[in-house]
Chain A
Amino acid sequence: DADVTQTPRNRITKTGKRIMLECSQTKGHDRMYWYRQDPGLGLRLIYYSFDVKDINKGEISDGYSVSRQAQAKFSLSLESAIPNQTALYFCATAQGRPGQSTGELFFGEGSRLTVL
């Protein structure tokens, strides 16, 4: 089983619908992230969280919200989906403190969302 699990892996929905993407991890990491990938643009940060009491906006948070239900769970919601939110979404985790580890990101397998 993957250490970072995302559900659903694929979803097709219609404009205006509410969508939730879920992420759970077994790595015991404190830091969790949601990224969006669009062709030719690399990955862009949507939201990140240090722990269950900490939520922070990334560079493209408009139109998204998140919830950190537990250390191991971090969900991303699109309250009213629009076509330009069609993308590949990644959850990622990281551990360590600055200066103490490389802190590389560990990614889930991605959730491909299509908004018609």
Chain B
Amino acid sequence: AQKITQTQPGMFVQEKEAVTLDCTYDTSDQSYGLFWYKQPSSGEMIFLIYQGSYDEQNATEGRYSLNFQKARKSANLVISASQLGDSAMYFCAMREAYNFNKFYFGSGTKLNVKP
């Protein structure tokens, strides 16, 4: 069975500091994709970053980076220089590389950025 685990239901971070949101996954597949989504209080789901299982470099998108440790099956999201607008729910997800229909989502981490 494939599963995504986000062990931090909620986190606080001071504005302008960096924060790491944890994500571990369980799969027996060799090829897969990892995603992070942001859900603000308004409810929409916003795609942040993608990491392929064969990508050797950690993915980066602006202030977002994905700390990918394949042997540990972890795909932590790092947000640098936190902003008040980063306060939201964050979901980690995994998809089989050759099946675009099976996305597995974690239960999410609620991040609060303090001024």
Interface residues of A (CB under 8 A from B): 31, 33, 40-45, 48, 56, 88, 90, 92, 94, 96-99, 102-110, 112
Contacts and interface: CB of A to CB of B under 8 A. Distances in A.
Contacts of A94: 100
Nearest to A90: B45
Contacts of B100: 31, 94, 96-98, 103
A104 B36 CA distance: 10
Interface stretch (B13-21, B67-75, B77-85, B101-109): B101-109
A103 B107 contact: no
A76 B52 CA distance: 31
Interface of B: 4, 9, 33, 35, 37, 42-47, 50, 52, 91, 93, 95, 97-103, 105-108
A45 B99 contact: no
B35 A104 contact: yes
B27 to A, nearest CB: 16
A107 B50 contact: no
Contacts of A104: 35, 47, 50
B98 to A, nearest CB: 4
Contacts, number: 63
Contacts of A106: 47
Given A40-B107, A43-B91, 13 more contacts: A41-B107, A42-B4, A44-B105, A45-B103, A92-B45, A97-B100, A103-B33, A105-B35, A105-B45, A105-B47, A106-B47, A107-B45, A110-B43
* Interface-central residue, B37, B44, B97, B103, by most chain A CB under 10 Å: B103
